[in-house]
Amino acid sequence: MNILYVCTGNTCRSPMAEGITRALAKEQGLEVNAISAGLFAAYGAKPTEQAVIAIQSIADISGHESRPLTMDFVNKADLIIGMTKDHKSVLLRQFPFEEYKIKTLAEWGRGSGDVVDPFGSDQVVYNQCAEQIYNFVKAGLASSKE
């Protein structure tokens, strides 16, 4: 399964989701490829230091470089996951023909609400965000095995 995570700038939430997914999939012996992109991202920005620290015990995302969402990423994805309902809405407007594979992280992870953008916040907020992402990804991967 190829999972594409989408957020705004591709420096916080979606790289954390990508790293967490890779780690959990490897741990569970699942064939899952994860990548991430941003709706309004530029090429080459590093993840925030707080995002790297928030998931350092799970995955190393320090080498990640931001990238904008491309049609190639969309075409290769089996599942396109936005961090918020707004991300999902933008994705549905841009790619209505891919509606069947677009969800929010909460929908996929059997939860509700949005993954709040931690950008500009302190480490506590990033850690809470990482925990929320971890729980949704874990539940999403479990549901994918069913």
Q: Is 7 a catalytic residue?
A: yes
Choose, from 12, 13, 22, 67, the residue flagged as catalytic: 13
CA distance 98 to 117: 25
Closest by CA to 25, choosing from 34, 12, 15, 16, is 34
Secondary structure element (H or E) that encloses residue 123, with its range: helix 123-145
Q: Is 129 a catalytic residue?
A: no
Choose, from 67, 72, 114, 117, the residue flagged as catalytic: 117
Q: Is 93 a catalytic residue?
A: no
CA distance 45 to 141: 28
Choose, from 7, 12, 22, 67, the residue flagged as catalytic: 7
**Terminal C-alpha separation, the chain:** 13
Task: Supply the residues annotated as catalytic.
Answer: 7, 13, 117
